[in-house]
Amino acid sequence: MKRFFSLVAALVAFALPASAQQEGIVAGLSQNAVQITATFVGSEILIFGAVKRDAPAPAGDLGVVVVVEGPSDPITVRRKEKRMGIWVNTDAVEVEAAPSFYAIATSAPFDEIISPELNRERDISIPESVRILEDETATDTESFAEAVIRIRSKAGLYMINEGAVTMSEDTLFNTRIELPSNLTEGDYQARIYLTRGGELVAEHSASIDVRKVGLERWLYNLAHEQAFLYGLMSLAIAIAAGWGASAFFRVFLRS
């Protein structure tokens, strides 16, 4: 029986790609939690690691791709057209999933270290991460996906930084991912892909918890759980602010 299990282990090891046996990833993050407060202006995460090897490095250029992805939600994208001098909504497409945040950092140009097949298989690039529902009534659905990417890129939520991963001696690597102030709370994923010749050698993932805290959390809970009270409070604040501004200008003008 012992010889049988030894034989099975040998066959499994033989069936695995050589690169999978030889190289892996050991990585860490400077922080695994981000707290969104009333004064939150953005943050930065340092992602660092090393390539562990059981044998000398195989031939081929080593590539590292780091992806930080926020929670995905379905959205409806509408196209506006000007008709009779008025802008109106025309076509609409349901986007099945679009990450609220998506950042990519690479050690070299993306197309040089990630093959098209691997990109489609793992949904690594920004266009691959935005999935549109099949809709026979809509035409040119790709333009709707491009609109989502364009809008969120302009807001600093989608970004790709080629060459931003620093490597040392083909073993150590690190990069920094900037998190903007307009983050959506939720569970974020940091993924690291190790490639040679555009093909996947190893991968690693870690979670990042992004949550509202303090006053931001209280206001968020109040707006979603006690909408009526939140509306009354907002109205009271608006009235008080208007009255205060009016009183200030009356005193100022008199003086």
Going from the first residue of the chain to its last (255 residues), give the mean pLDDT of each consecutive group of 10, the final group possibly shorter.
Answer: 38 40 85 84 91 80 93 79 66 80 95 93 91 65 83 93 92 93 90 92 92 66 66 77 77 71
Whole-number pLDDT of residue 154? 93
Secondary element (H or E) of residue 253: helix 227-254
Residues 255, 246: Cα–Cα separation, whole Å: 14
Burial tier of 10 (Cβ tally within 10 Å: 0-12, 13-18, 19+): exposed
What count of other Cβ atoms lies within 10 Å of the Cβ of residue 16? 9
Burial tier of 237 (Cβ tally within 10 Å: 0-12, 13-18, 19+): exposed
Whole-number pLDDT of residue 211? 84
Whole-number pLDDT of residue 55? 77
Whole-number pLDDT of residue 2? 38
SS3 115: coil
What DSSP designation does 179 have? E
By the 8 A CB rule, do 148 and 92 touch? no
Per the confidence metrics, is the pTM higher than 0.75? no
